[in-house]
């Protein structure tokens, strides 16, 4: 006797925030204390890849990440699976096979082609990809960014390409805390991102725990969420719509700096940036001073690695500076690799 297995394989992109998410008002539903905005990278260099399979022959839901079996005894993953099955059931337009399928267990196999948990948005790409693959497997249509959000907050932004806003929302049930595209992947085709891997080690404080401590202890975070981010979001959306790189760059760098200031304002403090990260900041400002305007913007997430936004024309020159200031040294594990990614495709 043969047992039917249905499977789907999808890939999911990384997103790099230019207005950062840091802090939740609801831990279970993953509702943020401020809106955020990111660019979605193309999938040539960095991506998650997930295969989901369902079968009447599987005895329980199981998951493997980069070849290692992971426990699915995780409330976030359970919520994601429950919500996908709930929506599939609600749709009810499927054939009998479809309805049968809702009782089948799933096997999930996911891999990233870049360091996991090193502040390179691996959870965003992974969870967005998982939710997208499950939605294809169970024929769930419509916006799935709210389901991705329940897997990992920033994952909701990886559901769309181009520049994407995660709206904070007002509703208690999170129904309006969703991602929406601010500009499509074709809007600013000259935009590039260089990722400088300072360290591929796991971060010393995870984002989820780090932001919980920040919400409890940082007065700067409260001020940022209430006063700074709402104005900055508007200015950022305008800069993107007008393709005003200078404003885009200045806002991006200021927001990264404020996020890391919040980390230091957290008690006990959190420091994600290293001496090399700070050296990159100085290099970027030196390059911008040379041009007498911002042609390059850094942004750092919950880790020491730098993401540099710039326009295509400046890539060769900036790579020249990077090679000059951070020469490749095989004996030094802290060397920097420049990965060139086009953010929008
Ligand atoms: C961001 N980060 O906007 C910010 C900037 C890190 C620094 O979103 O607890 O992994 O799963 O919602 O989404 C990292 O936080 O945290 C993050 P959870 P998540 O990209």
Q: Please give the pLDDT value at position 33.
A: 98
pLDDT band at 116 (very low <50, low <70, confident <90, very high): low
Measure 24 CA to ligand 1 centroid, in angstroms: 10
Query: How far are the Cα atoms of 126, 127, 201 from residue 204, in angstroms, in the given order?
Result: 20, 21, 9
Q: What is the pLDDT of residue 344?
A: 40
Query: How does the average pLDDT of the chain come out, rounded?
Result: 90
- Residue with more model confidence, 249 or 332: 249
- The number of beta carbons lying within 10 Å of the beta carbon of residue 265 is 18
Number of the ligand 1 atom closest to the C-alpha atom of 21: 3
As a dihedral over the C-alpha atoms of residue 199, residue 39, residue 18, residue 298, rounded to 10 degrees, the angle is: 50
3-class secondary-structure state, position 231: helix
Element (H, E) at 246: helix 245-265
Q: What percent of the chain has pLDDT over 90?
A: 80
Whether complex ipTM tops 0.95: yes
Whether residue 6 has a cis bond before it, omega within 30° of 0: no
Task: Look at 8-22, 112-126, 329-343 and tell me which has the smallest mean pLDDT.
Answer: 329-343
At residue 112, does pLDDT exceed 50? yes
Write down all domains in the chain, each with its CATH number in brackets: 5-183 (3.30.230.10), 191-341 (3.30.70.890)
Confidence band of 328 (pLDDT split at 50, 70, 90)? low
Q: How confident is the model at residue 337 (pLDDT cuts 50, 70, 90)?
A: very low
Q: How far apart are CA 33 and CA 59, in angstroms?
A: 40
What is the CB neighbour count within 10 angstroms for residue 282?
A: 10
Find the 207 Cα to ligand 1 centroid distance in Å.
Answer: 6
User: Cβ(258) to ligand 1 under 6 A?
Assistant: no
Alpha carbon of 124 to ligand 1 centroid (Å): 8
């Amino acid at each position: 006797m043969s047992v039917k297995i249905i499977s789907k394989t999808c890939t999911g992109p990384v997103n790099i925030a230019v207005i950062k998410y840091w802090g939740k008002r609801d831990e279970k539903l993953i509702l943020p204390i401020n809106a955020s905005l990111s660019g979605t990278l193309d999938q040539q260099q960095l991506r998650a890849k997930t295969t989901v399979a369902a079968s009447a022959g599987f005895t329980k839901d199981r998951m493997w990440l980069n070849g290692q079996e992971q426990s699915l005894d995780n409330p976030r993953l359970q919520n994601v699976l429950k919500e996908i099955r709930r929506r599939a059931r609600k749709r009810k337009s499927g054939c009998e096979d479809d309805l049968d399928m809702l009782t089948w267990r799933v096997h999930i196999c996911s891999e990233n082609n870049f360091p996991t948990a090193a502040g390179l948005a691996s959870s965003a790409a992974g969870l967005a990809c998982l939710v997208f693959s499950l939605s294809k497997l169970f024929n769930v249509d419509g916006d799935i960014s709210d389901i991705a959000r329940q897997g990992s907050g920033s994952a909701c932004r990886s559901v769309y390409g181009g520049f994407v806003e995660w709206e904070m929302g007002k509703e208690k049930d999170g129904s309006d805390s969703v991602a929406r595209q601010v500009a499509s992947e074709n809007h600013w085709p000259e935009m590039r991102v260089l990722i400088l891997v300072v360290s591929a080690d796991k971060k010393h404080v995870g984002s989820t725990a780090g932001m919980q401590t920040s919400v409890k202890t940082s007065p700067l975070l409260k001020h940022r969420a209430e006063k700074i981010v709402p104005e900055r979001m508007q200015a950022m959306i305008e800069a993107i719509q007008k393709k005003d790189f200078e404003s885009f760059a200045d806002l991006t760098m200021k927001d990264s700096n404020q996020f890391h200031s919040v980390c230091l304002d957290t008690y006990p403090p959190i420091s994600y940036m290293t001496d090399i990260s700070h050296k990159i900041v100085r290099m970027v400002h030196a390059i911008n001073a040379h041009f007498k305007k911002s042609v390059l913007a850094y942004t750092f997430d919950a880790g020491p690695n730098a993401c540099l936004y710039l326009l295509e024309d400046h890539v060769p020159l900036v790579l020249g500076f990077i090679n000059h200031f951070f020469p490749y040294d095989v004996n030094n594990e802290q060397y920097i690799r420049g990965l060139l990614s086009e953010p929008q495709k």
